Structure 1
Amino acid sequence: MFSNIERWAIWKQTNTYSLARQGYAVDAVELVEHNIEIFHQNTQPDENITIIQGNAMDLSAFSDNQYDVILLLGLLYHIYSTEDNQQALHEAIRVTKQGGVVFAAYVISDGCLFDEGFKRGNISVAEYIKNGLLDSKTFATKSQPKDLLELVRKENIDDLMSVFDVSRLHYVASDGCSLFMREAVDAMDDEIFELYLKYHFATCEREDLVGITSHAIDIFKK
């Protein structure tokens, strides 16, 4: 799929190493200095990786139309206003070449509510409603920086993207029901697990199922 790609920009260390070890040139942007130190410790001498300290909402260090692919994996989980999210997306799109592709990952509220709330009891649904973090009728979330992760729904993502002149290629429920049934997945033998993967890949873009996930990836072309 990516045989003609020259250069990537990326916001997640594990993906940086994976791509660099396949021979791609990768530029990585990291906000936290400590993480950059760890990054350097794990980078091999023959890997074509450049890492700088920076903020995804200001990529002025990079020129327009520079990258074949941009990965925003984990970044948008921690931005809590529409304006800031759109600024980060704007910068990612700006530095992407015409015809280039952006992958943007999100944490989806309903999946987290099912898994961490109702199933595991790690969050008190009643307490979240009382504190105004969950709407008592729609169960839509209101995230704040103290909550660590911004939780959204697909309609929120659609609203964010409505101001950009891009074409959506895929919108993927990246883990689907896997986290809700993690014990069952862990217990599968190889044959059943392969069948489960085939099911997941066959259904992860189905419109009636894309909201039933803890994470989603929006893939679009400039």
Structure 2
Amino acid sequence: MSNPELAAEIEHFYSEVIDEGDRLRVSADGQLELLRTRELLRRFLPPAPARVLDVGGGTGVHARWLVEDGYHVDLVDPVARHVEQAAGVCAASLGDARALEAADASYDVVQVLGPLYHLPDRADRRQALSEALRVVRPGGLVAAGAINRYSSLFEHTALAHLHAERMQTAISTILRTAVHDGKRGFTLAYFHRAEELADELRDVGLVDVAVFGIEGPARLAEPYPELLASSSHLLAVGKAPA
């Protein structure tokens, strides 16, 4: 397909600033995010072999373990560098989460673990989730990742950065607007509240929706929804109506 519509700062960030393939494999935080996400997904995935569409799958970090588990995984990402680096998947192609080329009801699982990070407009997030619902089979699983609204506050509190006026201004803006403009540090991004993420999945018609924290107290905190705010990343799962 033609190049997906992608904000210039996001294209620059993932093509020239960071190596997304390393993010989940090198740092301790990244490894925790990978392991916890894998643990959660394995609770809800149908048995292998099943067809998985990894939307915004980056270089295939999650796709690789799925393939090792016996799943058929196709990957779609809007960043050409990611598609070129993706290995071990059945197919990797350029694509936009808001306009998938896959046929209706053609996958058993659709995971959208990155796109919602970088779609600040609710209409775009709704379109991406609607597309995931369209291409998953009835009763199939949709999993969506998000950045927690309060992650920057907790992170920079722990790092003792809050004395800096610039940092206070940036974090206050995220808490007030849910959007980071991408001018410094991270790229253009949207920060969800847990209940907001759940509502967005339900709003497109997904059922049996649940939201989990990735980091923080993790498993111990699962019975206590109020502790979801302590996790930097969130994972929501839902099913297509049967």
Structure 2 residues not aligned, in runs of 5+: 1-44
Secondary structure of the structure 2 residue equivalent to 1:71: strand
How far apart are the structure 1 equivalents of 2:49 and 2:105?
A: 13
Please give the residue correspondences for 1:15-34 in structure 2 after superposition, counting only pairs within 5 Å.
Answer: 15-34=62-81
- Which structure would you say has the larger Rg? 1
How far apart are the structure 2 equivalents of 1:49 and 1:125?
A: 47
Cα deviation, residue 35, structure 1? 1.6
Cα deviation, residue 168, structure 1? 2.9
Deviates more, 1:144-153 or 1:89-98: 144-153
**Deviation string for 1:141-189 (max 9, x for gaps)?**
4314425232121233244234222213421011124xxxxxxxxxxxx
2:95 to 54, 60, 74: 54
How far apart are the structure 2 equivalents of 1:140 and 1:158?
A: 20
1:7 to 32, 37, 51: 51
Is the CA contact (8 Å cut-off) linking 2:202 and 2:209 kept in structure 1? Answer: no
Is the CA contact (8 Å cut-off) linking 1:109 and 1:140 kept in structure 2? Answer: no
How far apart are the structure 2 equivalents of 1:174 and 1:204?
A: 10
1:142 to 168, 171, 178: 178
Q: Counterpart in 2 of 1:35?
A: 82
Q: Counterpart in 1 of 2:221?
A: 203
Structure 1 residues not aligned, in runs of 5+: 178-199
Q: Counterpart in 2 of 1:185?
A: none
**Deviation string for 1:88-128 (max 9, x for gaps)?**
1110111011000111011102133111x222145677546
Provide closer, same or farther for how the CA distance between residues 3 and 140 of structure 1 changes in structure 2, counting only shifts above 3 A: same
Is the CA contact (8 Å cut-off) linking 2:105 and 2:137 kept in structure 1? Answer: yes
How far apart are the structure 2 equivalents of 1:14 and 1:107?
A: 18
Q: Counterpart in 1 of 2:11?
A: none
Cα deviation, residue 202, structure 1? 3.6
% same residue: 23
TM-score by length of 2: 0.69
Is the CA contact (8 Å cut-off) linking 1:62 and 1:95 kept in structure 2? Answer: yes
TM-score by length of 1: 0.75
How far apart are the structure 1 equivalents of 2:199 and 2:53?
A: 24
Cα deviation, residue 204, structure 1? 2.5
User: What amino acid does structure 1 have at the position aligned with 2:140?
Assistant: G
How far apart are the structure 2 equivalents of 1:153 and 1:77?
A: 12
How far apart are the structure 1 equivalents of 2:239 and 2:163?
A: 39
- Larger RCO (CA within 8 A; separation ≥ 6): 1
Is the CA contact (8 Å cut-off) linking 2:198 and 2:211 kept in structure 1? Answer: no
Number of positions where the alignment pairs a residue of Structure 1 with one of Structure 2: 189
Structure having the higher helix fraction is: 2
Provide closer, same or farther for how the CA distance between residues 135 and 24 of structure 1 changes in structure 2, counting only shifts above 3 A: closer
How far apart are the structure 2 equivalents of 1:160 and 1:125?
A: 34
How far apart are the structure 2 equivalents of 1:124 and 1:158?
A: 34
Cα deviation, residue 74, structure 1? 1.8
Secondary structure of the structure 2 residue equivalent to 1:165: coil
Q: Counterpart in 1 of 2:18?
A: none
How far apart are the structure 2 equivalents of 1:85 and 1:77?
A: 9
Is the CA contact (8 Å cut-off) linking 1:106 and 1:215 kept in structure 2? Answer: yes
How far apart are the structure 2 equivalents of 1:218 and 1:55?
A: 20
Cα deviation, residue 69, structure 1? 0.7
